[in-house]
Protein backbone atom coordinates (compact mmCIF):
# COMPACT_ATOMS: atom_id res chain seq x y z
CA UNK A 1 0.00 0.00 0.00
CA UNK A 2 1.28 3.47 -0.91
CA UNK A 3 2.61 5.75 1.78
CA UNK A 4 0.92 8.94 2.89
CA UNK A 5 1.99 11.97 4.90
CA UNK A 6 -0.43 11.07 7.67
CA UNK A 7 1.09 7.58 8.02
CA UNK A 8 4.59 9.01 8.21
CA UNK A 9 3.57 11.66 10.76
CA UNK A 10 2.03 9.02 13.01
CA UNK A 11 5.19 6.94 13.27
CA UNK A 12 6.46 7.47 16.82
CA UNK A 13 9.28 6.11 18.97
CA UNK A 14 9.70 3.47 20.10
CA UNK A 15 8.83 1.95 16.73
CA UNK A 16 8.02 -1.78 16.53
CA UNK A 17 6.61 -2.07 13.02
CA UNK A 18 8.25 -3.30 9.79
CA UNK A 19 11.72 -1.99 9.11
CA UNK A 20 10.90 -1.14 5.49
CA UNK A 21 7.65 0.01 3.93
CA UNK A 22 7.25 0.22 0.17
CA UNK A 23 5.54 3.11 -1.57
CA UNK A 24 5.46 2.89 -5.37
CA UNK A 25 7.77 3.12 -8.40
CA UNK A 26 10.70 1.77 -6.38
CA UNK A 27 10.34 4.26 -3.51
CA UNK A 28 10.33 2.99 0.08
CA UNK A 29 11.10 4.14 3.60
CA UNK A 30 13.28 2.48 6.22
CA UNK A 31 12.41 3.13 9.86
CA UNK A 32 14.62 2.69 12.91
CA UNK A 33 13.45 1.83 16.44
CA UNK A 34 13.85 5.51 17.27
CA UNK A 35 11.40 6.36 14.46
CA UNK A 36 14.03 7.89 12.19
CA UNK A 37 12.52 7.69 8.70
CA UNK A 38 14.62 7.72 5.52
CA UNK A 39 13.51 7.52 1.91
CA UNK A 40 15.22 5.01 -0.39
CA UNK A 41 14.95 4.19 -4.07
CA UNK A 42 15.23 0.48 -4.90
CA UNK A 43 16.10 -0.83 -8.34
CA UNK A 44 17.93 -3.59 -10.16
CA UNK A 45 21.19 -2.91 -11.95
CA UNK A 46 23.02 -5.62 -13.87
CA UNK A 47 20.75 -8.27 -12.31
CA UNK A 48 21.52 -7.17 -8.74
CA UNK A 49 19.24 -5.41 -6.27
CA UNK A 50 20.47 -1.90 -5.41
CA UNK A 51 19.34 0.88 -3.09
CA UNK A 52 19.95 4.66 -3.00
CA UNK A 53 19.26 6.83 0.01
CA UNK A 54 17.29 9.94 -0.96
CA UNK A 55 17.07 11.65 2.42
CA UNK A 56 15.29 11.81 5.77
CA UNK A 57 11.69 12.62 6.43
CA UNK A 58 10.48 15.33 7.18
CA UNK A 59 13.55 17.16 5.76
CA UNK A 60 12.40 15.76 2.44
CA UNK A 61 8.67 15.60 1.87
CA UNK A 62 6.99 12.50 0.49
CA UNK A 63 6.05 14.35 -2.70
CA UNK A 64 9.68 15.44 -3.20
CA UNK A 65 10.94 11.89 -2.64
CA UNK A 66 8.49 10.59 -5.25
CA UNK A 67 9.72 13.14 -7.80
CA UNK A 68 13.30 12.09 -7.13
CA UNK A 69 12.33 8.43 -7.52
CA UNK A 70 10.79 9.16 -10.91
CA UNK A 71 13.96 10.96 -11.98
CA UNK A 72 16.01 7.93 -10.97
CA UNK A 73 13.61 5.74 -12.90
CA UNK A 74 14.15 7.86 -16.02
CA UNK A 75 17.90 7.39 -15.65
CA UNK A 76 17.32 3.62 -15.71
CA UNK A 77 15.27 4.02 -18.88
CA UNK A 78 18.23 5.88 -20.36
CA UNK A 79 20.48 2.95 -19.33
CA UNK A 80 22.28 5.03 -16.70
CA UNK A 81 23.15 3.87 -13.20
CA UNK A 82 21.19 6.13 -10.78
CA UNK A 83 23.85 5.67 -8.10
CA UNK A 84 26.34 7.48 -10.27
CA UNK A 85 24.27 9.95 -12.28
CA UNK A 86 22.80 12.57 -10.03
CA UNK A 87 19.43 14.21 -10.33
CA UNK A 88 19.29 17.94 -9.94
CA UNK A 89 18.00 18.24 -6.42
CA UNK A 90 19.07 20.82 -3.91
CA UNK A 91 22.79 21.23 -3.47
CA UNK A 92 23.83 18.53 -5.95
CA UNK A 93 26.39 19.89 -8.41
CA UNK A 94 26.14 18.34 -11.83
CA UNK A 95 29.18 18.08 -14.07
CA UNK A 96 27.48 19.90 -16.92
CA UNK A 97 26.47 22.83 -14.72
CA UNK A 98 29.97 23.09 -13.28
CA UNK A 99 31.49 23.16 -16.77
CA UNK A 100 29.08 25.85 -17.94
CA UNK A 101 29.89 27.98 -14.89
CA UNK A 102 33.61 27.38 -15.41
CA UNK A 103 33.41 28.66 -18.99
CA UNK A 104 31.35 31.71 -18.08
CA UNK A 105 33.16 32.78 -14.91
CA UNK A 106 36.73 31.71 -15.66
CA UNK A 107 37.57 30.44 -19.14
CA UNK A 108 36.08 33.20 -21.29
CA UNK A 109 37.36 36.12 -19.15
CA UNK A 110 40.85 34.77 -18.39
CA UNK A 111 42.01 32.09 -20.84
CA UNK A 112 43.30 32.59 -24.37
CA UNK A 113 40.86 32.15 -27.27
CA UNK A 114 42.72 29.01 -28.37
CA UNK A 115 42.37 27.43 -24.92
CA UNK A 116 38.70 28.40 -24.78
CA UNK A 117 38.11 26.59 -28.07
CA UNK A 118 39.77 23.46 -26.64
CA UNK A 119 37.52 23.54 -23.57
CA UNK A 120 34.42 24.13 -25.71
CA UNK A 121 35.28 21.08 -27.79
CA UNK A 122 35.94 19.06 -24.63
CA UNK A 123 32.56 20.01 -23.17
CA UNK A 124 30.67 19.36 -26.39
CA UNK A 125 32.17 15.91 -26.94
CA UNK A 126 32.70 14.52 -23.45
CA UNK A 127 30.61 16.52 -20.97
CA UNK A 128 27.25 17.00 -22.65
CA UNK A 129 26.64 13.20 -22.93
CA UNK A 130 27.44 12.98 -19.20
CA UNK A 131 25.80 16.24 -18.10
CA UNK A 132 23.93 14.74 -15.10
CA UNK A 133 26.91 13.25 -13.29
CA UNK A 134 26.83 14.35 -9.66
CA UNK A 135 30.54 14.98 -9.20
CA UNK A 136 30.46 14.35 -5.44
CA UNK A 137 28.49 11.10 -5.57
CA UNK A 138 29.98 9.64 -8.74
CA UNK A 139 32.12 6.74 -7.56
CA UNK A 140 35.81 6.23 -8.25
CA UNK A 141 35.12 3.07 -10.27
CA UNK A 142 32.51 4.87 -12.37
CA UNK A 143 34.98 7.64 -13.26
CA UNK A 144 37.43 4.91 -14.24
CA UNK A 145 34.80 3.24 -16.43
CA UNK A 146 33.97 6.55 -18.11
CA UNK A 147 37.62 7.33 -18.86
CA UNK A 148 38.32 3.76 -19.96
CA UNK A 149 35.66 4.34 -22.60
CA UNK A 150 37.46 7.47 -23.79
CA UNK A 151 40.71 5.54 -24.02
CA UNK A 152 39.12 2.66 -25.92
CA UNK A 153 37.40 5.02 -28.37
CA UNK A 154 40.45 7.23 -28.93
CA UNK A 155 43.91 6.87 -27.38
CA UNK A 156 45.48 6.51 -23.95
CA UNK A 157 47.04 9.96 -24.30
CA UNK A 158 43.65 11.51 -25.09
CA UNK A 159 42.10 9.83 -22.04
CA UNK A 160 44.88 11.36 -19.95
CA UNK A 161 44.15 14.80 -21.42
CA UNK A 162 40.43 14.47 -20.74
CA UNK A 163 41.14 13.51 -17.12
CA UNK A 164 43.35 16.59 -16.70
CA UNK A 165 40.61 18.87 -17.99
CA UNK A 166 38.02 17.18 -15.77
CA UNK A 167 40.26 17.74 -12.76
CA UNK A 168 40.79 21.39 -13.71
CA UNK A 169 37.06 22.07 -13.87
CA UNK A 170 36.16 20.10 -10.74
CA UNK A 171 39.05 21.56 -8.73
CA UNK A 172 37.88 25.05 -9.76
CA UNK A 173 34.45 24.28 -8.31
CA UNK A 174 36.00 22.83 -5.14
CA UNK A 175 38.18 25.86 -4.36
CA UNK A 176 35.08 28.04 -4.74
CA UNK A 177 33.39 26.00 -2.02
CA UNK A 178 30.69 24.60 -4.30
CA UNK A 179 31.65 20.97 -3.68
CA UNK A 180 33.55 19.27 -0.88
CA UNK A 181 35.30 16.53 -2.83
CA UNK A 182 35.20 14.31 -5.90
CA UNK A 183 36.71 10.90 -6.51
CA UNK A 184 37.84 12.16 -9.92
CA UNK A 185 40.54 14.24 -8.25
CA UNK A 186 42.12 11.08 -6.80
CA UNK A 187 42.60 9.29 -10.13
CA UNK A 188 46.21 9.18 -11.43
CA UNK A 189 46.60 9.43 -15.19
CA UNK A 190 48.40 6.09 -15.34
CA UNK A 191 45.22 4.39 -14.06
CA UNK A 192 43.24 5.22 -17.19
CA UNK A 193 45.69 6.29 -19.89
CA UNK A 194 48.97 8.02 -20.45
CA UNK A 195 50.56 11.44 -20.35
CA UNK A 196 50.85 13.27 -23.64
CA UNK A 197 54.28 12.37 -24.96
CA UNK A 198 56.55 15.33 -25.53
CA UNK A 199 57.28 15.67 -29.22
CA UNK A 200 60.94 15.78 -30.24
CA UNK A 201 60.58 15.91 -34.03
CA UNK A 202 63.10 18.20 -35.73
CA UNK A 203 63.03 18.27 -39.52
CA UNK A 204 66.31 17.89 -41.41
CA UNK A 205 67.31 20.53 -43.94
CA UNK A 206 66.58 18.07 -46.75
CA UNK A 207 63.11 17.48 -45.30
CA UNK A 208 62.44 21.20 -45.03
CA UNK A 209 63.53 21.70 -48.63
CA UNK A 210 61.38 18.81 -49.84
CA UNK A 211 58.42 20.10 -47.85
CA UNK A 212 58.78 23.58 -49.32
CA UNK A 213 58.87 22.20 -52.86
CA UNK A 214 55.83 20.01 -52.13
CA UNK A 215 53.91 23.04 -50.86
CA UNK A 216 54.81 24.97 -54.00
CA UNK A 217 53.69 22.09 -56.24
CA UNK A 218 50.45 21.37 -54.39
CA UNK A 219 47.02 22.44 -55.61
CA UNK A 220 46.07 24.13 -52.34
CA UNK A 221 44.86 27.72 -52.28
CA UNK A 222 47.51 30.47 -52.11
CA UNK A 223 46.42 31.40 -48.58
CA UNK A 224 46.78 27.84 -47.29
CA UNK A 225 50.22 27.55 -48.84
CA UNK A 226 51.18 30.92 -47.40
CA UNK A 227 50.12 29.83 -43.91
CA UNK A 228 52.45 26.82 -43.94
CA UNK A 229 55.33 28.83 -45.38
CA UNK A 230 54.98 31.56 -42.78
CA UNK A 231 54.85 28.97 -40.01
CA UNK A 232 58.12 27.55 -41.34
CA UNK A 233 59.82 30.93 -41.71
CA UNK A 234 58.71 32.64 -38.49
CA UNK A 235 58.56 29.80 -35.97
CA UNK A 236 55.34 31.36 -34.69
CA UNK A 237 52.60 29.41 -33.02
CA UNK A 238 49.85 27.96 -35.17
CA UNK A 239 47.17 30.28 -33.75
CA UNK A 240 49.41 33.33 -34.00
CA UNK A 241 49.72 32.97 -37.77
CA UNK A 242 46.21 31.74 -38.50
CA UNK A 243 44.54 34.44 -36.42
CA UNK A 244 46.90 37.24 -37.48
CA UNK A 245 45.29 40.45 -38.69
CA UNK A 246 46.71 42.20 -41.72
CA UNK A 247 47.21 45.41 -39.74
CA UNK A 248 49.75 43.67 -37.48
CA UNK A 249 52.28 43.60 -40.35
CA UNK A 250 54.32 46.61 -41.49
CA UNK A 251 56.11 45.52 -44.65
CA UNK A 252 57.96 48.84 -45.05
CA UNK A 253 59.61 48.32 -41.67
CA UNK A 254 59.75 44.53 -42.10
CA UNK A 255 58.12 43.88 -38.72
CA UNK A 256 55.20 41.91 -37.32
CA UNK A 257 53.86 43.15 -33.98
CA UNK A 258 51.74 40.53 -32.25
CA UNK A 259 49.48 42.32 -29.74
CA UNK A 260 49.42 41.13 -26.15
CA UNK A 261 45.75 40.14 -26.51
CA UNK A 262 46.75 37.36 -28.90
CA UNK A 263 50.00 36.40 -27.24
CA UNK A 264 50.21 33.24 -25.14
CA UNK A 265 52.40 35.09 -22.65
CA UNK A 266 50.03 38.07 -22.49
CA UNK A 267 52.80 40.38 -23.73
CA UNK A 268 53.38 42.07 -27.04
CA UNK A 269 55.86 40.28 -29.34
CA UNK A 270 57.98 41.94 -32.04
CA UNK A 271 59.07 39.70 -34.89
CA UNK A 272 61.25 40.83 -37.79
CA UNK A 273 60.23 39.62 -41.25
CA UNK A 274 62.72 38.04 -43.63
CA UNK A 275 62.71 39.04 -47.29
CA UNK A 276 60.82 35.87 -48.17
CA UNK A 277 58.16 36.44 -45.51
CA UNK A 278 57.56 39.90 -46.91
CA UNK A 279 57.32 38.46 -50.43
CA UNK A 280 54.69 35.93 -49.30
CA UNK A 281 52.56 38.63 -47.65
CA UNK A 282 52.87 40.87 -50.72
CA UNK A 283 51.59 37.98 -52.86
CA UNK A 284 48.58 37.62 -50.56
CA UNK A 285 47.97 41.38 -50.80
CA UNK A 286 48.03 41.16 -54.60
CA UNK A 287 45.47 38.33 -54.65
CA UNK A 288 43.18 39.24 -51.75
CA UNK A 289 43.77 42.99 -51.29
CA UNK A 290 45.59 44.94 -48.58
CA UNK A 291 42.44 46.08 -46.79
CA UNK A 292 41.36 42.59 -45.63
CA UNK A 293 40.91 42.01 -41.91
CA UNK A 294 42.77 38.72 -41.52
CA UNK A 295 46.17 38.07 -43.01
CA UNK A 296 45.03 34.58 -44.04
CA UNK A 297 41.30 34.34 -44.55
CA UNK A 298 39.21 31.20 -44.17
CA UNK A 299 36.17 30.25 -46.20
CA UNK A 300 34.75 33.74 -45.68
CA UNK A 301 36.42 37.12 -45.33
CA UNK A 302 35.24 37.59 -41.75
CA UNK A 303 36.91 34.41 -40.50
CA UNK A 304 40.53 33.32 -40.23
CA UNK A 305 41.79 30.06 -41.68
CA UNK A 306 40.59 27.30 -39.35
CA UNK A 307 42.94 24.95 -37.53
CA UNK A 308 41.02 22.06 -39.08
CA UNK A 309 41.75 23.29 -42.61
CA UNK A 310 45.43 23.77 -41.82
CA UNK A 311 45.85 20.40 -40.11
CA UNK A 312 44.03 18.66 -42.95
CA UNK A 313 46.43 20.21 -45.47
CA UNK A 314 49.50 19.31 -43.40
CA UNK A 315 48.20 15.75 -43.13
CA UNK A 316 47.99 15.57 -46.94
CA UNK A 317 51.58 16.77 -47.11
CA UNK A 318 52.54 13.98 -44.69
CA UNK A 319 50.85 11.45 -46.97
CA UNK A 320 52.65 12.78 -50.05
CA UNK A 321 56.12 12.91 -48.47
CA UNK A 322 57.99 9.83 -47.29
CA UNK A 323 59.11 11.50 -44.05
CA UNK A 324 58.52 10.69 -40.40
CA UNK A 325 55.25 12.31 -39.35
CA UNK A 326 55.39 16.04 -38.64
CA UNK A 327 52.91 18.65 -37.40
CA UNK A 328 53.01 22.47 -37.67
CA UNK A 329 54.32 22.83 -34.10
CA UNK A 330 57.46 20.91 -35.14
CA UNK A 331 58.48 23.88 -37.31
CA UNK A 332 59.11 25.85 -34.10
CA UNK A 333 61.47 23.21 -32.76
CA UNK A 334 63.15 23.01 -36.16
CA UNK A 335 63.94 26.72 -36.56
CA UNK A 336 65.31 26.91 -33.01
CA UNK A 337 67.49 23.81 -33.45
CA UNK A 338 68.84 24.65 -36.90
CA UNK A 339 69.70 28.23 -35.93
CA UNK A 340 71.41 27.04 -32.75
CA UNK A 341 73.61 24.90 -35.01
CA UNK A 342 74.58 28.16 -36.71
CA UNK A 343 75.70 29.66 -33.38
CA UNK A 344 72.60 31.83 -32.89
CA UNK A 345 72.36 32.32 -29.13
CA UNK A 346 69.55 30.65 -27.15
CA UNK A 347 68.10 33.90 -25.80
CA UNK A 348 67.62 35.05 -29.40
CA UNK A 349 65.87 31.88 -30.56
CA UNK A 350 63.70 31.91 -27.44
CA UNK A 351 62.51 35.41 -28.30
CA UNK A 352 61.88 34.32 -31.89
CA UNK A 353 59.58 31.62 -30.56
CA UNK A 354 57.78 34.15 -28.36
CA UNK A 355 58.97 32.54 -25.14
CA UNK A 356 59.62 34.28 -21.85
CA UNK A 357 63.18 33.91 -20.60
CA UNK A 358 63.61 31.86 -17.45
CA UNK A 359 64.79 32.76 -13.97
CA UNK A 360 65.93 36.24 -12.99
CA UNK A 361 66.20 37.31 -16.63
CA UNK A 362 62.42 37.05 -16.99
CA UNK A 363 62.04 39.61 -14.19
CA UNK A 364 64.77 42.12 -14.94
CA UNK A 365 65.67 41.75 -18.61
CA UNK A 366 62.93 42.94 -20.97
CA UNK A 367 65.12 43.23 -24.06
CA UNK A 368 63.98 41.22 -27.09
CA UNK A 369 67.28 41.24 -29.10
CA UNK A 370 65.39 42.52 -32.11
CA UNK A 371 68.49 43.29 -34.21
CA UNK A 372 69.84 39.81 -33.56
CA UNK A 373 66.48 38.35 -34.57
CA UNK A 374 66.67 40.19 -37.90
CA UNK A 375 69.96 38.46 -38.68
CA UNK A 376 68.68 35.06 -37.50
CA UNK A 377 65.45 35.13 -39.53
CA UNK A 378 67.23 36.14 -42.71
CA UNK A 379 69.94 33.52 -42.12
CA UNK A 380 67.30 30.82 -41.72
CA UNK A 381 65.67 31.66 -45.04
CA UNK A 382 69.02 31.91 -46.83
CA UNK A 383 70.06 28.48 -45.59
CA UNK A 384 66.68 26.95 -46.46
CA UNK A 385 66.74 28.56 -49.92
CA UNK A 386 70.17 27.09 -50.62
CA UNK A 387 68.93 23.59 -49.78
CA UNK A 388 65.84 24.10 -51.94
CA UNK A 389 67.95 25.22 -54.91
CA UNK A 390 70.40 22.39 -54.41
CA UNK A 391 67.56 19.88 -54.50
CA UNK A 392 68.62 18.35 -51.18
In sequence order, the β-bridge partners of residue 48 are 45
Q: How far is CA 254 from CA 19, 28, 181, 276, 367, in A?
A: 84, 77, 54, 11, 19
Rounded to whole angstroms, the Cα distance separating 246 from 305 reads 13
CB–CB of 274/381 below 8 Å?
yes
CB–CB of 159/151 below 8 Å?
yes
Looking at residue 180, what is its pLDDT?
87
CB–CB of 193/160 below 8 Å?
yes
Looking at residue 285, what is its pLDDT?
96
Q: What is the pTM of this model?
A: 0.62
Looking at residue 137, what is its pLDDT?
84
Looking at residue 360, what is its pLDDT?
60
The maximal CA–CA distance of the chain, rounded, in angstroms, is 98
CB–CB of 377/384 below 8 Å?
no
Rounded to whole angstroms, the Cα distance separating 60 from 47 reads 29
Mean pLDDT by 10 residues, the chain (392 residues): 83 89 90 90 88 85 87 84 62 85 93 85 91 88 93 91 95 92 93 82 95 95 96 95 95 95 87 96 95 93 90 94 92 96 94 81 72 96 95 66
Please name each of the domains of the chain with its CATH number: 5-77 (3.30.160.390), 95-191 (1.10.150.130), 205-390 (1.10.443.10)
Return the SS3 of 249: strand
Residues 6+ apart with CB under 8 A from 389: none
Rounded to whole angstroms, the Cα distance separating 355 from 361 reads 12
Rounded to whole angstroms, the Cα distance separating 333 from 273 reads 19
Return the SS3 of 118: helix
CB–CB of 182/170 below 8 Å?
yes
Element (H, E) at 156: helix 156-175
* pLDDT tens-place string over residues 152-205: 998 998 999 999 999 999 999 999 988 888 999 999 999 998 887 777 899 999
Give the other-Cβ count within 10 Å of 299's Cβ: 9
- Strands 269-272 and 255-258 come out as antiparallel
Rounded to whole angstroms, the Cα distance separating 94 from 86 reads 7
Return the SS3 of 123: helix
Element (H, E) at 154: none
Rounded to whole angstroms, the Cα distance separating 373 from 257 reads 14
Rounded to whole angstroms, the Cα distance separating 358 from 371 reads 21
Cα-based torsion angle of the residue sequence 95, 98, 104, 105 in order, rounded to the nearest 10 degrees: -150
Element (H, E) at 356: none
Looking at residue 314, what is its pLDDT?
94
Looking at residue 113, what is its pLDDT?
79
Burial (Cβ within 10 Å: 0-12, 13-18, ≥19) of residue 342: exposed
Residues 6+ apart with CB under 8 A from 44: 50
What order do you get walking across the sheet with 269-272 strand by strand?
249-250, 255-258, 269-272
Amino acid sequence: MALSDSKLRNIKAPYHGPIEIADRDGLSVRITKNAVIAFYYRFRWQAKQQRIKIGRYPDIKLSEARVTGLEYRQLLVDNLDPRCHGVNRGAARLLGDICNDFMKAYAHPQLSPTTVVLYESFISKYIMPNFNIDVERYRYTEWIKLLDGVRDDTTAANAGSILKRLKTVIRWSKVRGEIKSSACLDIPIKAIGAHQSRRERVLEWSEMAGLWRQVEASRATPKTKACVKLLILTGARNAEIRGAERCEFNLDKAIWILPKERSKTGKMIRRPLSNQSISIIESLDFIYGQDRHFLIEGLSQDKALSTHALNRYVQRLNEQLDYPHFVPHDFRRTISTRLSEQKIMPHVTEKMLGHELGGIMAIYNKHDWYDEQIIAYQLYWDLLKNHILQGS
